[in-house]
Amino acid sequence: MTATTENTTLTIGCETGNYHTFCPISCVAWLYQKIEDSFFLVIGTKTCGYFLQNAMGVMIFAEPRYAMAELEEGDISAQLNDYEELKRLCEQIKRDRNPSVIVWIGTCTTEIIKMDLEGLAPKLEAEIGIPIVVARANGLDYAFTQGEDTVLASMALRCPDRQPELAQEKQERNPLQRLLHFGKTKEDIDTTESSYADHPPLTLFGSLPDPVVTNLTLELQKHGIRVSGWLPAKRFTELPTIEPGSYVCGVNPFLSRTATTLVRRRKAKLINAPFPIGPDGTRAWIEAIGAALGVVPQGLAEREQQIWDSLEDYRQLIRGKSVFFMGDNLLEVSLARFLIRCGMIVHEIGIPYMDQRYQAAELALLAKTCQEMNAPIPQIMEKPDNYNQVQRIYELQPDLVITGMAHANPLEARGINTKWSVEFTFAQIHGFSNARDILELVTRPLRRNSGLKSLGWEQLV
């Protein structure tokens, strides 16, 4: 299957699935930092441990709140009792760290030997008195960021379904509101309260760094939309209340299982919106939320334009340039849509997994953006084949390839500019304020190369 640039409608191809990505257990690296009272226990082999140790680089030395339960030959052949072994390790964790929750990450090995983690967890939870959440984030089923999806889907079931406290108390104990009200007087708070429109409760899901959480919450507050809570919160003990019939909206494109769980198991209503990546995405995201809640946002067009204006210096660098996404973290469609709006031409959007229902609004915005920018509609390639992709890259000679570290240096040595895709996962890219950070990343190889242009050693193989 080959990509063509003359597509007129959005087509989604599928290849062999032979591509490079991170194992989904990597989600522990950012989730343990996000959920401050958690402990992540990855139940797997040396291979899993080796990956975490090398992929997480220096974080491993910062006494992280995660560890491997390394399976030995006796565990594989069931000479040892899984329950007793896990109990021993979890008691040790309780003694040393005293977390509010232990998250068990199931791996390929626990799948193959059919270790019943979901069955063991409630029993052990009752025995040691610490909640145990089970997420099967394994390489048999998922890619990279989908690991977070499996964890949040399990956590969604732990959210309380109604506020236990009185209304008055509820306001004061809500951690997010407390954060936003920090340092304000009682009068200030009351003014803020009255500025909210009367709408059903809204919970946002997706793990983001705290400054981005505050930023997006304030952005909605400007339009009178109150965010009742975030899944996940800073602490496991502060998981948001999700009442049946309340609204939920995702902030990242890889959270389809979490969305499904919230809708089916928690009876929440999902707001299908493009994701708040880039000023166009952020505006569409706020508009979709407003539309669902019956609030009309004011002054968004000006706000978006103002951001675009502030990006002009970077947009000049990439306008008319082409980009190829090899695909590994599921952010690809949103990023491609933003870059097309910036004036780039996208050849191919490789993506590990494409949930056309969860990403429906994002896909629609992509098609609309292509039309408005008069840009060719890119080929979306699910489960790509890296070998074939490299052949297509040779043929197309794109100005930029967004790819994993396995291919970046070899492509650079062949004179092809690359940007390491994993950086988009860890950088702050959401909301109006962070649009510049995305372009900072995208333009970096182009800026570097304009500095080296005259040296004459692009090809070094």
Partner 1 sequence: MKLAYWMYAGPAHIGTLRIASSFRNVHAIMHAPLGDDYFNVMRSMLERERQFTPVTTSVVDRHVLARGSQEKVVDNIVRKDSEEHPDLIVLTPTCTSSILQEDLENFVERAKLDAQCEVLLADVNHYRVNELQAGDRTLHQIVSHYLTKAAKTGTLRTTKTAQPSVNILGITTLGFHHHHDCTELKRLMSDLGIHVNLVIPEGASVDQLETLPQAWFNLVPYREIGPLTAQYLQQTYAMPYVDIAPMGVMETARCIRAIAEILHQLDPQISATCFDDFIQTQTRHVSQAAWFSRSIDCQNLTGKKAVVFGDSTHAAALTKILSREMGIHVVWAGTYCAYDAEWFTAQVSGYCDRVLITEDHGQIGDAIAQTEPAAIFGTQMERHVGKRLGIPCGVIAAPVHIQNFPLGYRPFVGYEGTNQICDLIYNSFTLGMEDHLLEIFGGHDTKTAMHKGITADSDLHWQSDAQSLLQQVPGFVRGKVKRNTEKFARDRQISTITLEVFYAAKEAVGA
**Alpha carbon distances (Å) from 53 to 45, 86, 125:** 13, 22, 28
d(CA 425, CA 428): 8
User: Please, which residue, 355 or 362, has the CB nearer to partner 1?
Assistant: 355
Interface with partner 1 (CB under 8 A), residue total 81
- Smallest distance from partner 1 to CB 402, Å: 15
**Which positions ≥6 away from 60 have C-beta within 8 Å?**
52, 53
Q: Which of 138, 145, 252, 379 binds partner 1 (CB under 8 A)?
A: 138
Q: 372 to 391, contacts with partner 1 by CB under 8 A?
A: 387, 390
Q: Pattern 390-429, binding to partner 1, x per CB under 8 A?
A: x-------------xxxxxxx--x----------------
- Smallest distance from partner 1 to CB 256, Å: 17
Place of tokens 């591509």: 19
Measure the CA angle with vertex 6, ends 378 and 355; round to 5°.
Answer: 30
Please report whether residue 180 would count as binding partner 1 according to CB under 8 A: yes
d(CA 126, CA 132): 9
- Smallest distance from partner 1 to CB 312, Å: 12
Q: 423 to 442, contacts with partner 1 by CB under 8 A?
A: 432-433, 436, 440
Q: 288 to 307, contacts with partner 1 by CB under 8 A?
A: 306-307
Q: Tokens for 212, please give them.
A: 């981005």
Nearest Cα neighbor of 26 from 135, 99, 125, 183 is 135
Q: For residue 43, which amino acid is it? A: I
Please report whether residue 111 would count as binding partner 1 according to CB under 8 A: yes
Q: 222 to 281, contacts with partner 1 by CB under 8 A?
A: none
d(CA 256, CA 123): 29
Question: By CB under 8 A, which span of 125-133, 152-160, 214-222, 392-400 interacts with partner 1?
Answer: 214-222
Measured N-to-C along each axis, helices 435-452 and 332-341 cross at an angle, to the nearest 10 degrees, of 70
d(CA 71, CA 433): 45
- Smallest distance from partner 1 to CB 241, Å: 23
| Alpha-helical runs (H) found in 182-299 | 186-195, 210-221, 256-264, 278-293
- Smallest distance from partner 1 to CB 369, Å: 22
Q: 144 to 163, contacts with partner 1 by CB under 8 A?
A: 144
d(CA 427, CA 73): 39
Does residue 101 contact residue 38 with C-beta atoms inside 8 Å? yes
Q: 344 to 363, contacts with partner 1 by CB under 8 A?
A: none
- Smallest distance from partner 1 to CB 155, Å: 22
Q: 5 to 64, contacts with partner 1 by CB under 8 A?
A: 17-24, 43, 45-47, 49-55, 57, 60-61, 64
Q: Tokens for 409, please give them.
A: 């240096």
Q: 70 to 89, contacts with partner 1 by CB under 8 A?
A: 70-73, 75-76, 80, 85-86, 88-89
Please report whether residue 143 would count as binding partner 1 according to CB under 8 A: yes
Q: 113 to 132, contacts with partner 1 by CB under 8 A?
A: 113
- Smallest distance from partner 1 to CB 330, Å: 13
Question: By CB under 8 A, which span of 156-164, 194-202, 206-214, 293-301 interacts with partner 1?
Answer: 206-214
Q: Tokens for 317, please give them.
A: 């660098």
d(CA 405, CA 93): 34
Does residue 382 contact residue 351 with C-beta atoms inside 8 Å? yes
Does residue 349 contact residue 380 with C-beta atoms inside 8 Å? yes
- Smallest distance from partner 1 to CB 47, Å: 5
Buried b (16+ CB within 10 A) or exposed e, 218-232: ebbeebbbbbbbbbb
Please report whether residue 215 would count as binding partner 1 according to CB under 8 A: yes
User: Please, which residue, 266 or 283, has the CB nearer to partner 1?
Assistant: 283
- Smallest distance from partner 1 to CB 336, Å: 22
Q: Tokens for 221, please give them.
A: 């507050």
User: Please, which residue, 10 or 60, has the CB nearer to partner 1?
Assistant: 60
User: Please, which residue, 46 or 267, has the CB nearer to partner 1?
Assistant: 46
Please report whether residue 68 would count as binding partner 1 according to CB under 8 A: yes
- Smallest distance from partner 1 to CB 26, Å: 8
How far does Cα 49 stand from its chain's mean position? Answer: 22
